[in-house]
Amino acid sequence: MALITDRPENLPSGNDLDNVEDPDAPAPKQRTEMYLSGAHVFTLDDVPSGLERFTFMVDVEVYEAGGVRFTGEDGETRVPICKVRRIGDMYLPGTTRPPSKDELAAQQAAAKAQAAREKAAQEEAERAEREKNEPPMFTEDGDPLDPDAPKPPAGDGIVDAEVIEDDEPWPGDVDHQADKPGLSVVGPAFSDGAKS
């Protein structure tokens, strides 16, 4: 038997099972915000089902105490009343407590102070660099930054020089120094008569 590698014509490619919905697959998560008396108290990562109950942890601060409410059928049961203010968002038990407004303000102030310190250090480094180094004279393309600077000659930048031929030797030529008195062949003569 041979392996058949030829595909029949008009055969659609793909997996038809991709179009079938899995009934056991979990529903996609959708974030839900919870409000209590018009104030946002928590954001859930998944939509709760109907009649689902939650237990929240919350930090509160008592700002007024001392009231009494009478309850019960006889009106004799006394319940003390305190007015409280919520500090920070509510959170589920077992999760980390979110920072309070005071903690958030302190974190933001610390971040602003850190950014100001970094900016001041960078400005100081730039100032010290400007004092230490001369400003650049040319751009990255080689053009002078000063508009009054002389421009290079147009063309290929090669200047023709005139060659002068002279039969007379240069003063530093070693071959001709031996003929002249007072000149050293090896090097210059010093006032104490030492050789270099």
**87 vs 62: which has the higher pLDDT:** 62
Distance of alpha carbon 29 from alpha carbon 43, whole angstroms:
13
Tens-digit pLDDT profile for residues 105-122: 899 999 999 999 999 999
Dihedral sign from CA coordinates of 54, 55, 58, 61: positive
Model confidence at 174: pLDDT above 70: no
The predicted pLDDT at position 113 comes to 96
pTM of structure: 0.35
- Mean pLDDT to the nearest integer, 3-15: 77
Mean of pLDDT values over 67-78: 73
